[in-house]
Amino acid sequence: MSFFIETLVGGLLAGVMYSLVAIGFVLIFKASGVFNFAQGSMVLCAALIFVTLREKNIDFWLAALVTLAIMIALAIAIERIVLRPLINQPQITLFMATLGLSFVIEGISQIVMGASVHELDLGIVDTPIQLGDIQVSQFDLVAAGAAGALVVILSIFFNWTRVGVALRAIADDPQAALSIGIRLQTLWRVVWGVAGFVSLVAGLLWGSRQGVQFALTLVVLKSLPVLIIGGFTSITGAIVGGLIVGAGDSLAEIYLGALLGGSVSSWFAYALAVVFLLVRPAGLFGERPIERI
């Protein structure tokens, strides 16, 4: 039994790591109704900047601050250069723009900072802690703590303020939002800036686990089922979806893997997502569209 619980807890904590990436998607989806394909590149970009600064022996917090400043500058540039000319275009156009954006960010990041694998040490001791019968990774606990803190801050910001209403308004009809005086540009900058911050946190944690390298952009693939299960419009959904994917992955690997000959975790989350698409297409916490026909 304690082995089951240990697997479950380990899986839940690993799932939080996917949630961290998924939150970035949710933010931008809420504010523009667009799936931001460049989220993975932003994670890579933030991690690369941070690790490059650290390798130049810059203090941890200073490096984090400088990286954040660059990510916010990037957000403002994206709003000005990519998003503003596309106001009122179909959402597929915006989506294609983020696809292009992802190549630009990846390319420039690697031209400037190189494509080699960097090791990133956040100074978190990764010795397992004994909790009763089970062992828990200290690193995973830190990641879970970071995700929890992010969720609280973002929920206050987006759910308890009129900013949330303005954001949903923009996602519904940008032109009407402008015509009643909502500062679309400012809000887009804020949201992309916050998504940049979330990318930084995700980039640091993923980077220190996998090494900072191009493959970091592939983390987003694993956050897709998280989004489908949790719902594209809910930060809570991103967390719950992450937990389900994480726990499902590690339990399936252990208990199904033995029957099917292993590597279940490479497809289990996607299979789960397909089931959700069939049963509950808007996800657990997503807004179900209500349309009067």
Partner 1 sequence: MSEPILRLRDVSLSFKGVQALSALSFDVASGEICALIGPNGAGKSSLLNVINGVYRADAGDIVFEDKRFERIRPLHAARLGIGRTFQHNALFKRLSVLDNVLAGLTRHSRTTLVEHALGIGRDRSETRDFGRRAADVIAFLDLTRHAHAIVSTLPYGVQKRVDLARALVGRPTLLLLDEPMAGMNQDEKREMSRFILDANRSLGTTIVLIEHDIGVVMGLSHHVVALDYGRKVGDGAPEEVRNNPDVIAAYLGAVH
Binding site for partner 1 (CB under 8 A): 156-157, 160-163, 165-166, 168-169, 172-173, 175-185, 190, 287, 289-292
Closest to 57 (Cα-Cα) out of 116, 121, 113, 108: 121
Least spacing, CB of residue 191 vs partner 1, in Å: 12
Least spacing, CB of residue 29 vs partner 1, in Å: 13
Least spacing, CB of residue 76 vs partner 1, in Å: 15
Burial of residue 39 (CB within 10 Å: 0-12, 13-18, 19+) is buried
C-alpha 103/C-alpha 259 separation (Å) is 40
Least spacing, CB of residue 85 vs partner 1, in Å: 14
C-alpha 183/C-alpha 232 separation (Å) is 23
- What Å distances lie between residue 49 and 162, 170, 278, CA to CA? 34, 31, 40
Least spacing, CB of residue 46 vs partner 1, in Å: 22
> What distance separates the 2 farthest-apart alpha carbons in the chain?
62
CB atoms within 10 A of CB 138: 14
Closest to 122 (Cα-Cα) out of 13, 208, 21, 201: 208
Instruction: Give the residue with the Cβ less far from partner 1, 182 or 224.
Output: 182
Instruction: Give the residue with the Cβ less far from partner 1, 80 or 183.
Output: 183
Instruction: Give the residue with the Cβ less far from partner 1, 161 or 266.
Output: 161
Least spacing, CB of residue 283 vs partner 1, in Å: 15
Instruction: Give the residue with the Cβ less far from partner 1, 132 or 289.
Output: 289
Least spacing, CB of residue 287 vs partner 1, in Å: 6
Burial of residue 172 (CB within 10 Å: 0-12, 13-18, 19+) is exposed
Q: Running DSSP on this structure, what letter comes out for residue 214?
A: G
C-alpha 275/C-alpha 48 separation (Å) is 36
Instruction: Give the residue with the Cβ less far from partner 1, 85 or 132.
Output: 85
Closest to 101 (Cα-Cα) out of 74, 72, 73: 74
Least spacing, CB of residue 153 vs partner 1, in Å: 9
Instruction: Give the residue with the Cβ less far from partner 1, 168 or 209.
Output: 168
- Does residue 289 sit in helix, strand or coil? coil
Instruction: Give the residue with the Cβ less far from partner 1, 278 or 293.
Output: 293
- What Å distances lie between residue 68 and 29, 150, 218, CA to CA? 21, 15, 22
Instruction: Give the residue with the Cβ less far from partner 1, 57 or 179.
Output: 179
C-alpha 40/C-alpha 144 separation (Å) is 20
Distance of CA 187 to the CA centre of its chain: 19
